[in-house]
Structure 1
């Protein structure tokens, strides 16, 4: 190839280079393809380098919280956060303080840690730090339209008031015996407990604690809150519907709510069928004039909004689905962790059994049924549940969407540097009660399961619970009755503020009755408590989570 034809004056100089490249393409017809291939192969590296450089040189406002350095664009810190969020938060706190931002699959998430951070996020105004915008894309396809986060906040608060009517002490008194019967029936007939059924006090069997607790919690919830028709319908087809619906309640659904995947289609079909199932129950009850059932359906059928409008049938159905899904996940997780720790600490399990013998022994040495008031008055049972919830809160991260720029309190921002951070509109903010509940700055030996820490009336645990419960302090009415905010406590197992779970008293009742019934019947053993599985929406134990058991010998 020669430059001569282009340089002898026959072509203007401006056309020389274009003519040259035309000749080059003629001699090397694949050079452009090779260049494109090289760029394509190296595109990820180029993107990573540019992303890193941008974080170093990009201008940022003095009021912006520090951003965790990340190599991968878009993905950001999603892998570190998703694998072990608590370690991620504690490590970031060492470097950045209690307030920092990280990238989560394109979202900018500003974290505020500690009790003050919890108070900032969970005690913030819902018009600025909004829960609906953060969660509706996850919850609405599963729970349904016109309930929970698919309605304005003030309507959701009214719906919580309706639910609270069904969570009455009168109903709870009826529930204890129902739950005990369900657990006893399960132990007597489920294949997982063949050794128990053989009445052999010497042989050891084993069971997967998460699988068993998932089944027990859905059976006990359906027998009590859900109603007799739901319990009667607990067959294979209902289980399949539940599993399909549950398949839409995962981290991938939170991050990508509308993927064209089979699991999403199964979720939608299951929701439609389950909604129709509840609506049919409501219609049958109204047609027959059935009233007086101690369940949530009955309570919701009697409720009206402040404007006089009654709850529609589909709203009742969707609220029942929400109660079933949310309650089953949290209770089965908490129950699993409780039994795992009791199996790993047989001396505590024995003390719990002795508490049962002390309070509920019949003259013949058998144990009688408990009452709701008696269950509430068991100090060791209460301490065991509290300690398990401290170490294993079902949800490790609680998010809100930032609708307007919001100033972070100076005590949180960077007091040593005299800075005030502002979280920009469009970010998410995140509180992690799981961090404050295992913070070595607050708790002695925070990673040790020690229910006896709750017996010291002057200890950190008792003080934290007093702040959370605040039985005698100032109450706040968000629209569903006066409750303690609890947002400044380092102990918040059921959330705090206006979105604090109103089902916590039922959870204590359900957990306490399930655990008491199991401990009455069998000894438990396990070599060690499994680690957390953070790849699920609710924090579950990793496999293996097999507990060995043996039937108790009664004198």
Structure 2
């Protein structure tokens, strides 16, 4: 038999090929076979009727990664037309079941901890950046206690102090940055990269307030390089294949240790000084240094350091992105900038033709247009387009969510027979929510693609506070209303704890800019850039033209 095989091989055309030619043939043939088998598996082999429909894809393992990564929202909507609100797609070897609409968000955000896990979905991406023993590197119960510790630092008393500190940092930036100095004669216009500006302003204001004076004083090139290298760990590849031995991960790990040691030095020095909270500090480090777990164990200094890194990295990305989009949206509607300026003059009139200093209570309660601008920006530009959980036990999808929806095409309705019962999402799948889809749904919002802050004024299309009952997961009562079509900060136990600080920071930065400048777009409004984990305005159309007020 072996002689026949040898003879057959010698008679075949392949026998005359060189080694490298054979490798080239294999490089073409084997992928082609893999694609063919993948197509056969999807089209011809029977599937469990309880599974959600699976998005067709040519390439195994890769799946729909390319089309999803290019424009997630277009991908979500096009699949929704074919399959309804619940469907599964392959993403770099993982089965991702998407659940769209308010009911889909509720299924994922309010899922039981026995069913879905954020920790299992994100730990391999976040832990190398944030550090061990915090956030998604701990059991959910411990994470809830850590969020309670953080909330202790997000007090109203601290917020009242933060307003002045934020104004001071923005003002200093505007009087010292080279691009802004040229605008100070009141008649010159200047073009600035607003994303770069907001990145710098965001880290300056966050370090002055939450991070502490020592961090603010250390914002030099060395710190910037550490931040950049640490930020390099947030790449989609690390979600698919954790801890690859690649240069960016080596830099990430080195930067993580250096940043952790940097915070440890601050904490150690504070403990040596024995001043404690009586020193008058109002930052997060001071709040965390006195915290203890329910079992009596003190929050460790290394844990504090890693929580501070998590706050720095997560807050910087989302706030700088949202601030950039807000400035760009306002640049596309200069008349709203002037209305914001009129609002400032009305509520802060000092009686002598000037403006009083910004005040926390007024900012929170008496500037409805400014608040509406922030809300409308977050509606159109939620920082994160996809929020994931890993499935721990099979999840039953209600029939009302599993059935094809009214926006599903007639052809796919006929093809999809799952109209009388729900689906079952199997263990080890991932589930994915996309609140941004609901936030621009024409069935919910009038003219959803337009930037219209007035929709939030008075009794608008949606009252954001009317989101159902509240629940306390251990760090304070929050809305349980994951059924809301407006969830820019998520919902449930993993709702962003920095929500109120984000509103404060963004509102104060915008108010300070409105008081100093008018502005307009330098070019057309930018498209979204989905190449990073956060949705950013795509260069080079992220520039605005500023002019200082008289």
Hey, what does 1:213 align to over in structure 2? 198
Q: Kindly tell me: are residues 40 and 268 of structure 1, through their superposed partners in 2, closer, same or farther at Cα, counting changes over 3 Å? A: closer
Q: Contact (CA 8 Å) 1:334, 1:389: kept in 2 or not? A: yes
Deviates further, 205-214 or 416-425: 416-425
Hey, what does 1:11 align to over in structure 2? none
Which digits, 9 at most, give the CA deviation of each residue in 1:263-284, with x for residues without a partner?
Answer: 1111111110111111111111
| Rounded Cα–Cα distance in structure 2 between residues aligned with 1:260 and 1:230 | 31
| Rounded Cα–Cα distance in structure 2 between residues aligned with 1:534 and 1:32 | 43
Hey, what does 1:290 align to over in structure 2? 275
Unaligned runs of 5+ in 1: 1-13
Tell me the CA shift for residue 382 of structure 1.
0.5
The root-mean-square deviation of aligned C-alpha atoms, in Å, is: 1.8
Hey, what does 1:256 align to over in structure 2? 241
Q: How many correspondences in the alignment?
A: 530
Q: Residue 467 of structure 1: SS of its match in structure 2? A: coil
TM-score (norm 2): 0.93
Hey, what does 1:477 align to over in structure 2? 472
Q: Contact (CA 8 Å) 2:399, 2:419: kept in 1 or not? A: no
Q: Kindly tell me: are residues 229 and 54 of structure 1, through their superposed partners in 2, closer, same or farther at Cα, counting changes over 3 Å? A: same
Hey, what does 1:301 align to over in structure 2? 289
Tell me the CA shift for residue 302 of structure 1.
0.8
Q: Contact (CA 8 Å) 1:394, 1:539: kept in 2 or not? A: yes
Tell me the CA shift for residue 201 of structure 1.
1.9
Q: Residue 108 of structure 1: SS of its match in structure 2? A: strand
Match runs of 1:456-495 below 5 Å: 456-457=458-459, 459-462=460-463, 465-468=464-467, 474-495=469-490
Hey, what does 1:9 align to over in structure 2? none
| Rounded Cα–Cα distance in structure 2 between residues aligned with 1:280 and 1:24 | 73
Q: Contact (CA 8 Å) 2:373, 2:453: kept in 1 or not? A: yes
Tell me the CA shift for residue 255 of structure 1.
2.4
Tell me the CA shift for residue 519 of structure 1.
1.0
Q: Kindly tell me: are residues 277 and 19 of structure 1, through their superposed partners in 2, closer, same or farther at Cα, counting changes over 3 Å? A: closer
* Residue of structure 2 aligned with 1:504, choices 499, 502, 510: 499
Q: Residue 466 of structure 2: SS of its match in structure 1? A: helix
Q: Kindly tell me: are residues 360 and 31 of structure 1, through their superposed partners in 2, closer, same or farther at Cα, counting changes over 3 Å? A: closer
| Rounded Cα–Cα distance in structure 2 between residues aligned with 1:22 and 1:284 | 75
* Residue of structure 2 aligned with 1:379, choices 368, 380, 383: 368
Which digits, 9 at most, give the CA deviation of each residue in 1:371-424, with x for residues without a partner?
Answer: 110001210000000000000001111000001111111211127720220001
Hey, what does 1:349 align to over in structure 2? 337
Hey, what does 1:337 align to over in structure 2? 325
Deviates further, 234-243 or 407-416: 407-416
Matched, 1:191 2:187: no
Matched, 1:533 2:529: yes
Q: Residue 361 of structure 1: SS of its match in structure 2? A: coil
Hey, what does 1:408 align to over in structure 2? 397
| Rounded Cα–Cα distance in structure 2 between residues aligned with 1:35 and 1:222 | 59
| Rounded Cα–Cα distance in structure 1 between residues aligned with 2:259 and 2:14 | 65
Larger Rg: 1
* Residue of structure 2 aligned with 1:128, choices 112, 115, 129: 115
Matched, 1:313 2:315: no
Matched, 1:71 2:68: no
Which digits, 9 at most, give the CA deviation of each residue in 1:301-354, with x for residues without a partner?
Answer: 111000000000000000001001101111101100000011110000110011
* Residue of structure 1 aligned with 2:545, choices 537, 543, 548: 548
Which digits, 9 at most, give the CA deviation of each residue in 1:182-233, with x for residues without a partner?
Answer: 000000001121322xx22222101111111001010100000111111111
Matched, 1:324 2:312: yes
TM-score (norm 1): 0.92
| Rounded Cα–Cα distance in structure 2 between residues aligned with 1:328 and 1:489 | 26
Hey, what does 1:427 align to over in structure 2? 429
| Rounded Cα–Cα distance in structure 2 between residues aligned with 1:358 and 1:429 | 48
Q: Kindly tell me: are residues 290 and 31 of structure 1, through their superposed partners in 2, closer, same or farther at Cα, counting changes over 3 Å? A: same
Hey, what does 1:8 align to over in structure 2? none
Tell me the CA shift for residue 366 of structure 1.
2.8
Matched, 1:360 2:357: no
Tell me the CA shift for residue 456 of structure 1.
4.1
Match runs of 1:36-55 below 5 Å: 37-55=24-42
| Rounded Cα–Cα distance in structure 1 between residues aligned with 2:520 and 2:461 | 30
Q: Kindly tell me: are residues 281 and 438 of structure 1, through their superposed partners in 2, closer, same or farther at Cα, counting changes over 3 Å? A: same
Tell me the CA shift for residue 78 of structure 1.
0.5
| Rounded Cα–Cα distance in structure 1 between residues aligned with 2:293 and 2:10 | 79
| Rounded Cα–Cα distance in structure 1 between residues aligned with 2:137 and 2:15 | 58
Deviates further, 120-129 or 28-37: 28-37
| Rounded Cα–Cα distance in structure 2 between residues aligned with 1:177 and 1:16 | 88
Hey, what does 2:414 align to over in structure 1? none
Q: Kindly tell me: are residues 204 and 31 of structure 1, through their superposed partners in 2, closer, same or farther at Cα, counting changes over 3 Å? A: closer
Hey, what does 1:6 align to over in structure 2? none
Which digits, 9 at most, give the CA deviation of each residue in 1:111-135, with x for residues without a partner?
Answer: 0000000000010012211000000
Q: Kindly tell me: are residues 96 and 29 of structure 1, through their superposed partners in 2, closer, same or farther at Cα, counting changes over 3 Å? A: closer
Hey, what does 1:517 align to over in structure 2? 512
| Rounded Cα–Cα distance in structure 2 between residues aligned with 1:491 and 1:501 | 14
Tell me the CA shift for residue 482 of structure 1.
1.6
| Rounded Cα–Cα distance in structure 2 between residues aligned with 1:156 and 1:299 | 17
Q: Contact (CA 8 Å) 2:385, 2:434: kept in 1 or not? A: yes
Q: Residue 517 of structure 1: SS of its match in structure 2? A: helix
Q: Residue 142 of structure 1: SS of its match in structure 2? A: helix
| Rounded Cα–Cα distance in structure 1 between residues aligned with 2:11 and 2:253 | 58
Q: Kindly tell me: are residues 273 and 418 of structure 1, through their superposed partners in 2, closer, same or farther at Cα, counting changes over 3 Å? A: same
Q: Contact (CA 8 Å) 1:397, 1:431: kept in 2 or not? A: yes
| Moved segments of 4+, more than 4 Å | 31-37
Tell me the CA shift for residue 20 of structure 1.
4.5
Deviates further, 126-135 or 32-41: 32-41
